[in-house]
Amino acid sequence: MSKPIKTTSAKIDGAPTPHNTPSSVLASSFLKNGNPTRAVPQTIHEEDITSALAKNPQLLASIQDKLGNLVGQDSGYISSLPLAVRERIYALKKLQQDLFELEKDFQLEMFALEEKYLQKYAPVHKRRHEIVTGKQEPTAREIEIGKQVEDDLDTLTEEPEEEQEGDEEEKITGIPSFWLTAFENLPMVSQTVTSVDAEVLEFLTDVRLEYLTEGKPGFKLTFYFDTENPFFSNAQLSKTYYYQSELGYSGDFIYDHAEGCDIQWADNESNVTVSVEKRKQRNKTTKQVRTIEKITPVESFFNFFDPPKLPTKGGKSLPGASDNEADDDDDDDEEEEEDPEEVAELESRLALDYAIGEEFKDKLVPRAVDWFTGAAIEFEYDADQIDDEEDDEDDEFDSEEEDDDDDQEGDDGEDSGDESEPNDFKQPGNNAKEQPPECKQA
């Protein structure tokens, strides 16, 4: 019986391997199954990269995270400059700091100027309040000038026929649901107003603004309610927005925090910020029955007066937590890292809260009647439409350039006259689908 053949693990010097064989040889070699190896494409197309990243969102997120860490990193260019040049840059930094100080003075004077003119607006706002609430009727001159304004703006709607003396309906006082209607037409605010909130806002009689000129800069919004309001005992609700003392890089004040007020609800049934669920419970010993109320917070416009709170230093104080709870948890949370999802949610709530306050300040208070009639919506829609049309024109111009490039490439391909390739063979990237235009928001 012959001995089995022994294999040796000795390495043969100079034997061809994938590591020492030129790619040109590999491209022309044949595998055991007779199929030639495919040549690696020399060019990676952008469409292929986009398609690969779309199929692998984890890879895309990882790349974005890595690129985000590179933002703001020192490239070493400034430190490589000669000393004299670097000193001149330091001098420019000092001059820029001087500009920041002047910009701060400018912003403070702007606040003082706005407060000055707000005092001049006060008689006009008071007159508006009197007409809305029906305390006084408008004069014939006010009505005539208002009609002329409508004619100039070309927003006059067809007026109904005048009522006959014999067909007079019940006398209406002021303008019913004036502020509620304005709220519902204000886009960002309307998203927070529920059907239950609307019942409470029927008693809203005025919204006023004042600027803070002492201490921290900011502004205060005050909402006045009818004394016959059955939902809460407050005659007015207020909310104050504060800015940081230092300016942001853009030269504007940065939002710091907001302070609301406590609403004295008549009872839990009247409180529109909570849902009350009642259930009966029987005592096993005494057999007595008692009613238990389960209170659950719900979305409501009146949460606006209980703004989200920033985390306390040294701990992770969640919005709505009391000061004692925050102090008790300081030691436990001091070493814990903040949850990114909670931080993102809090930042989103703070941004929304500030944006709503700005809408009240810049849009509702000075243009209340236009938000009541809906005319302000048309003006905003026209402005947004102009921005969208400009974006569409830019996209169309870009697409025309791409079409021209494609046509030029196609002409070059036809002129070449090379018909040696089979019809079913396509070069990598030529069959990639055209990507949709980038979605841009105004």
Whole-number Å distance between alpha carbons of 231 and 110 = 39
pLDDT tens for 248-287 read 777 777 888 999 999 999 998 899 999 888 777 777 788 7
Contact assessment for residue 207 and residue 189, using Cβ atoms and an 8 Å cutoff: no
Share of the chain above pLDDT 70, in %: 63
> For residue 163, what are the contacts with CB-CB under 8 A and spacing of at least 6?
169
Which has the higher per-residue pLDDT, 152 or 40? 152
pLDDT tens for 197-243 read 999 999 999 999 999 877 788 899 999 999 889 999 999 999 999 98
Mean pLDDT of 424-429: 42
Q: Which of 156-165, 239-248, 287-296 has the lowest mean pLDDT?
A: 156-165
pLDDT tens for 338-397 read 677 888 888 888 999 999 999 999 999 999 999 999 988 887 766 555 555 555 555 555
Contact assessment for residue 319 and residue 346, using Cβ atoms and an 8 Å cutoff: yes
CATH number of 84-151+174-269+299-389: 3.30.1120.90
What is the band of 325 on the pLDDT scale with cuts at 50, 70, 90?
very low
What is the band of 43 on the pLDDT scale with cuts at 50, 70, 90?
low
Mean pLDDT of 149-169: 58
Residue 439 pLDDT: 41
Which residue is associated with the tokens 């030529």? Answer: 430
Residue 162 pLDDT: 55
Residue 414 pLDDT: 47
The domain segmentation of the chain, as residue ranges, is: 84-151+174-269+299-389
**∠217-221-226 over CA atoms, to 5°?**
160
Ranges of beta strands (E only) in 168-288 are: 204-212, 218-225, 236-247, 253-259, 274-282
